[in-house]
Amino acid sequence: MIISHEYKCIFLKVGKTASSSIEIAMEKLCNHPKDVVTPVTNYQKYNPNFKARNWLCPNGRRKFRKHMSARKVKKHVSEYVWTNYFKFCFERNPWERVISYWSHEHAVGKVKQSLNRFVFSDRIFLLEGHSGWDIYTIDNEVVLDKVYLYEDLDNSLKDISKRTGMPLLQLPHAKGQFRKDRRDFHKVLSKKSIRRIAKIFHKEVEMWGYQA
């Protein structure tokens, strides 16, 4: 996540929505001494000068986390910052999010089972709640100024630039290399998997109009 005082904005990271690429690109624009930037893994290839900053408490404990919820961020910033800064994140088709997450975890060896077996494991819930819906809601109410959709990424980046005054972000494809099968999710997921994902992510499906 990022808090930029120069551009008066807060970017919260929903997992598997190009959020690492956005953070890597935004970090280059964080020049204020009090800007907050949380760590990103495997950034060196895309931004060798990337520097996490102001995310730890003086005692070394984490104050801000990469997938931090709006509720928790609100507790750690001033009322002025929360009220006046442009708060945004990205959301994504949940079936594609799941495939993207499995592709990454499988590629790095954290997950051994097949995609459709993974869908029926408890690990899928790591995408739900704390790294998804809860990022941009409090008590199931959307509290950010804008939730952009990954499917309209290019236009969304232009709108962010217009709203904040920051230069148009040039995104690296961080972590995008892990997904090898680019077919439509209907051809990758079983019908049972599609139904299970729809059930788990029913809030996102209903809110953003995604369809199986």
Q: Give the pair of three-digit tokens for residue 133.
A: 């819906």
Which residues contact residue 12 at a Cβ distance below 8 angstroms, ignoring those fewer than 6 apart? 1, 68, 69, 70, 73, 87, 88, 89, 135, 136, 144
Under the banding of pLDDT at 50, 70 and 90, the label for residue 176 is low
Q: What is the pLDDT of residue 145?
A: 98
| Confidence (pTM) | 0.93
Domain boundaries, given as residue ranges, for the chain: 2-208
Mean pLDDT, the chain, rounded, equals: 92
Angle between helices 191-200 and 94-107 (to 10 degrees): 110
Q: Would the pLDDT of 35 be above 70? A: yes
Q: Which of 28-32, 43-47, 189-193, 203-207 has the lowest mean pLDDT?
A: 43-47
Under the banding of pLDDT at 50, 70 and 90, the label for residue 43 is confident
